[in-house]
Structure 1
Amino acid sequence: MNASLKGSSVAAELHVILDNQRRAFHAEGPVALATRIDRIDRCIALLVDNKEAICEAVNTDFGCRSKYVTLMTDIMTSVGSLKFVKKNLKKWMKPEKRTPFMPMNFLGAKAQVHHQPKGVVGIMTPWNVPVNMIFSPLADVLGAGNRAMIKPSEFTPHTADIMHTLFAQYFEESEITVIAGGPEVGAAFSALPLDHLIFTGATSIGRLVMRAASENMVPVTLELGGKSPVIVGEDCDIHLAAERIITGKAMNGGQLCVSPDYCFVPHSRMEAFINRCKAVIAEQYPTIQDNPDFVACINERHYDRVKGYIDEASSKGARIIPLCPPGEAFSERDEHKIALHLIVNPDDDLTCMQDEIFGALLNIKAYEKLEDVIDFINARERPLALYYFGKNKTEQDKVINETLSGGVAVNAIALHVGCDDLPFGGVGHSGMGNYRGRDGFRTFSHARGVYREGFVDMAKLAGTLPPYGQKIGNMLESQIKK
């Protein structure tokens, strides 16, 4: 099968792959623990044995992405997730004991939940962390005993090509296959009668994916991003908070779904925060444009988009602070690299405060009262992540309890995503459903309730069989009461 499908045969070829995987799944029968672990081990070997070639492919797609960024955000995290699933899989696969209804629980009845594979799972991945976004859900998919069809983003064609080649070397097509291609392939892929579909990407595309999947009643998991806020508490260590926030924002050139999008800073501490942001960037990235450590925008289209936010804010009189040496704010368009910019107290109607940034730009807004900040966040769509910096436990709890987001990190940026034992996913416009670790195993499994009758025929004993009489009346009366 070619790495990229084209023309009118797209849907037909995809159906052939799906049918072959489904037949192989049914022919295999119950998927043994050893088989699941073998598939996970082959994924680990694929990544470890080919890490240099994978880093080179990702760098080619971005134009400038340090191999250390790829090793850290794509390879290491993927291997970690795979190993976590492997370590815990035997425990997760055991049937869960549940309690039968009274009095059957005292009369030998048993109730269990069996987590069974669904079959063939589709994985549609984004371009920003193009390798991890394959293997992070794939670890859970394989752990749950499924087979997988993978559709990478067309914005990272070199990464898609090497993934197609490597998976073909390490797996049979009936186990895992990678299908590259553009929007036409993506549309046909999302319309397949899969057993589950997980999509990571923009909310606008997520709507289309969900609509297409609904035609076949395919369950979906959507991870869609959104504008993730940061709250800097009045009592926090402002230097430490600024360092962690700006370090997290600069990672991958701001192109992370959980990247901070706008940050609330106490009015009295705004200048100290800005000065520390400048110092942190100067320490970590002494230069920007010729520095391989600072990741470029993925392409010219996204360069134009992010630069457009900055240009609009500047034209409307907003205070713009480029965090870079003089003359290094913007590269030539064909190199598509933008230094991290701060937009201070932007008006809420600016595009930078409406769109998800997904780039090297951070809005910072001064505030006086925490209640106003919480009201501001709650008046907008639910974000994928929310961050709070501060020592006050009462204030931490207030922020967590009075807001809603996909996940939360306190005194850290994005580290909750690295915890394989926490569910990862959005809420509302930032997505639906969870994966990662135990939660991912359950997402990609069918939770099947199993009841085994005990040694007493309760229906006869209780008199619940017709013809009805006073005996069942008395029994019902004893149960239907306050």
Structure 2
Amino acid sequence: MKQDLPEAVTRDSLDALLAAQRDAFLREPFPTWETRARHLKALRAMLLDNRDALAEAMNADFGQRSKAEVMLAEFVVLKQEIDGALKHGTRWMKPQRRSVGKWLMPGRAKVVPQPLGVAGIVVPWNYPLYLGAGPLVCALAAGNRAMIKMSELTPRTSALFETLISKAFERDHVAVVNGDASVGAAFTALPFDHLLFTGSTRIGHEVMRAAAANLTPVTLELGGKSPALIGENARFDYAVDSLLLGKTLNAGQTCIAPDYVLLPRGTEAKFIERARTRFSQLYPDFTSNGDYTSIITDRHFDRLARLADEAQEAGAQLHPLGVHDAATRRFAPVIVTNAPADGTLMQEEIFGPLLPLVPYDTLDEALRYVNSRARPLALYLYADDARTVERVTHETVAGGMSVNETLMHIAAEGLPFGGVGASGMGAYHGHDGFVTFSKMKPVFTQARFNGRGLIAPPYGRLFDFLINLMMKF
């Protein structure tokens, strides 16, 4: 019988929940693929059957969250993730044969994917379903149990997700935990077998410190300032249109949204003009347009306004593409030129529809600009010539990269998603997510007839001969 969800979350209740999941895991430490597939199908049915209710909850949490965006950016990609796991999971589970080397023949070696146990998943507010259920898909495909901490900034979505999960899964299999930042801190301090956190770089430091106390392995999906680089001979209008799509999705509240644009010097006015024209086509009647998402809270709205004001006071020029509405928290995109390099706008992740332009004279200068900063979660290049694509690919380091596109690398089924350096560590999605939530256990099997006794004590002339022979070949 399913247990009732606790009315209040305490450290004791979290400890008890983890213990119950670990006990359940030990009773079934290696679920068959049929069992795992049944769980994945249950998750898929729960999400798709309740997509309208979940979209309505998100809309209420944001004040205005585009339902079209929710269907595209949350449900379509989640369905693809689940369908991909169902299609490839039996292959992912198979042991992988490995070489033993000539001196251990005729022994055999393999790597056996093994469930880790109980995974902890910490979910941010900006894509609460995709960033909660996405890692869960990987954890379930790998045969694990999971505890999920949802964001307190999306209370309706988080509460509904908790209710739906409790109906689809036993609590000792998958459980959702809701609560404020103190609950989140207690959650990340639990001795999980793996912890995946999605959020800011600042909180990522705290999560890693908490996990270190238990030597819990972590996957950190953070953020940072993801650059976009428009090459000298790029299809300029296409690049502007594409970047605007990436920057306005979820009103820029996306960890891989382009944070600033490097473009050939002298093309700034052309960029602004094209962006203004295109924005009016994408979102006509902006103040009442239902396709544009609101900023999540008044505090976040005020922060964006403050970033713009501070940049302007320091000498930057603001080029708004529409009119803000504080009452509904609709923040129209603002192109920013001449932003001081040491200002907050150019130092912190923006996480909203402000887009600074940084002109460059040569590709070398643009690459130096990117490489002088912390390694980003994403990098976007607009170029058609192979030489530029090759140079940017090989001479920059980023969590992921898209060429002539924005955001879409995260939706590519076979690509891992993850950061590097300040933008995170580890990766998931698809097979890489299966590996993240598995112990890829190396297993060596000795042959019945083998030469192990030839290199055992007491060492003598035969041993010396064999060692010399090994050194030569």
Indicate the TM-score class for this superposition, using the shorter chain for normalisation.
Answer: over 0.9
Aligned match for 2:8, one of 5, 10, 26: 5
Q: Return the offset for 1:104.
A: 3.1
Aligned match for 2:325, one of 325, 331, 350: 331
Aligned match for 2:455, one of 464, 470, 480: 464
| 1:157-209: CA deviation from partner (whole Å, max 9, x where unpaired) | 11100000000111110110100000110011001111100000011111111
The answer to whether the Cα contact below 8 Å between 2:382 and 2:404 also exists between their aligned partners in 1 is yes
Q: Return the offset for 1:274.
A: 1.7
The answer to whether the Cα contact below 8 Å between 2:428 and 2:436 also exists between their aligned partners in 1 is yes
1:17 aligns with 2:8: no
After TM superposition, the structure 1 stretch with the greater mean CA deviation from structure 2, 467-476 or 430-439, is 467-476
Aligned partner of 1:292 in structure 2 is 290
**CA distance in 1: counterparts of 2:407 and 2:206, whole angstroms:** 28
The answer to whether the Cα contact below 8 Å between 1:4 and 1:179 also exists between their aligned partners in 2 is no
Aligned match for 1:306, one of 286, 295, 304: 304
**CA distance in 2: counterparts of 1:297 and 1:166, whole angstroms:** 26
Aligned partner of 2:112 in structure 1 is 114
Q: Return the offset for 1:102.
A: 1.0
Q: Which amino acid aligns with 2:440?
A: A
| Matched residue SS, 2:336 | strand
**CA distance in 2: counterparts of 1:375 and 1:284, whole angstroms:** 34
**CA distance in 2: counterparts of 1:378 and 1:265, whole angstroms:** 16
1:395 aligns with 2:393: no
Q: Which amino acid aligns with 1:27?
A: R
* Mapping for residues 79-478 of structure 1, pairs under 5 Å: 79-105=79-105, 107=106, 109-324=107-322, 328=323, 330-332=324-326, 334-460=327-453, 463-478=454-469
The alpha-carbon distance between structure 1 residues 307 and 3, as it changes in their structure 2 partners (threshold 3 A), is farther
| Matched residue SS, 2:187 | helix
**CA distance in 1: counterparts of 2:423 and 2:413, whole angstroms:** 20
The answer to whether the Cα contact below 8 Å between 1:152 and 1:180 also exists between their aligned partners in 2 is yes
The answer to whether the Cα contact below 8 Å between 1:3 and 1:161 also exists between their aligned partners in 2 is no
| Matched residue SS, 1:258 | coil
**CA distance in 1: counterparts of 2:249 and 2:366, whole angstroms:** 25
| Matched residue SS, 2:102 | coil
| Matched residue SS, 2:341 | coil
The answer to whether the Cα contact below 8 Å between 2:262 and 2:357 also exists between their aligned partners in 1 is yes
The answer to whether the Cα contact below 8 Å between 2:315 and 2:340 also exists between their aligned partners in 1 is no
| 1:329-351: CA deviation from partner (whole Å, max 9, x where unpaired) | x212x422210000013110121
Q: Which amino acid aligns with 1:469?
A: G
> How big is the alpha-carbon RMSD for the aligned residues of Structure 1 and Structure 2?
1.2
| 1:225-253: CA deviation from partner (whole Å, max 9, x where unpaired) | 11000000011111111100111111100
| Matched residue SS, 2:90 | helix
**CA distance in 2: counterparts of 1:282 and 1:336, whole angstroms:** 19
**CA distance in 2: counterparts of 1:446 and 1:195, whole angstroms:** 10
The answer to whether the Cα contact below 8 Å between 2:118 and 2:193 also exists between their aligned partners in 1 is yes
**CA distance in 2: counterparts of 1:455 and 1:185, whole angstroms:** 54
- Give TM-score, length-normalised by structure 2: 0.97
**CA distance in 2: counterparts of 1:139 and 1:392, whole angstroms:** 38
Q: Return the offset for 1:481.
A: 5.0
Q: Which amino acid aligns with 1:47?
A: L
Q: Return the offset for 1:4.
A: 6.0
| Matched residue SS, 2:266 | helix
Q: Percent identity?
A: 39
Q: Which amino acid aligns with 1:111?
A: A
Aligned partner of 1:480 in structure 2 is 471
| 1:414-442: CA deviation from partner (whole Å, max 9, x where unpaired) | 11000121010000000000100010100
- Give TM-score, length-normalised by structure 1: 0.96
Q: Return the offset for 1:365.
A: 1.2
| 1:347-371: CA deviation from partner (whole Å, max 9, x where unpaired) | 1012110110000111111111111
**CA distance in 2: counterparts of 1:290 and 1:314, whole angstroms:** 28
The answer to whether the Cα contact below 8 Å between 1:5 and 1:179 also exists between their aligned partners in 2 is no
Aligned partner of 1:51 in structure 2 is 51
**CA distance in 2: counterparts of 1:447 and 1:438, whole angstroms:** 12
**CA distance in 1: counterparts of 2:408 and 2:112, whole angstroms:** 32
**CA distance in 2: counterparts of 1:480 and 1:317, whole angstroms:** 68
**CA distance in 1: counterparts of 2:350 and 2:407, whole angstroms:** 16
The alpha-carbon distance between structure 1 residues 299 and 407, as it changes in their structure 2 partners (threshold 3 A), is same
**CA distance in 2: counterparts of 1:92 and 1:465, whole angstroms:** 38
**CA distance in 2: counterparts of 1:166 and 1:62, whole angstroms:** 20
**CA distance in 2: counterparts of 1:309 and 1:39, whole angstroms:** 45
Q: Return the offset for 1:3.
A: 6.3
Q: Return the offset for 1:281.
A: 0.2
Q: Which amino acid aligns with 2:64?
A: C
**CA distance in 2: counterparts of 1:289 and 1:283, whole angstroms:** 14
| 1:393-418: CA deviation from partner (whole Å, max 9, x where unpaired) | 11111001001000000000011000
Q: Return the offset for 1:79.
A: 1.2
**CA distance in 1: counterparts of 2:126 and 2:113, whole angstroms:** 32
Aligned partner of 2:62 in structure 1 is 62
| Matched residue SS, 2:197 | strand
Q: Which amino acid aligns with 2:298?
A: E
The answer to whether the Cα contact below 8 Å between 1:140 and 1:437 also exists between their aligned partners in 2 is yes
1:27 aligns with 2:27: yes
The alpha-carbon distance between structure 1 residues 41 and 481, as it changes in their structure 2 partners (threshold 3 A), is same
Q: Which amino acid aligns with 2:355?
A: L
| 1:353-392: CA deviation from partner (whole Å, max 9, x where unpaired) | 0110000111111111111111111111100000100111
Q: Which amino acid aligns with 2:182?
A: E
| 1:291-333: CA deviation from partner (whole Å, max 9, x where unpaired) | 1211111001110111111111122221110012xxx2x212x
**CA distance in 2: counterparts of 1:255 and 1:4, whole angstroms:** 31
**CA distance in 2: counterparts of 1:87 and 1:364, whole angstroms:** 43
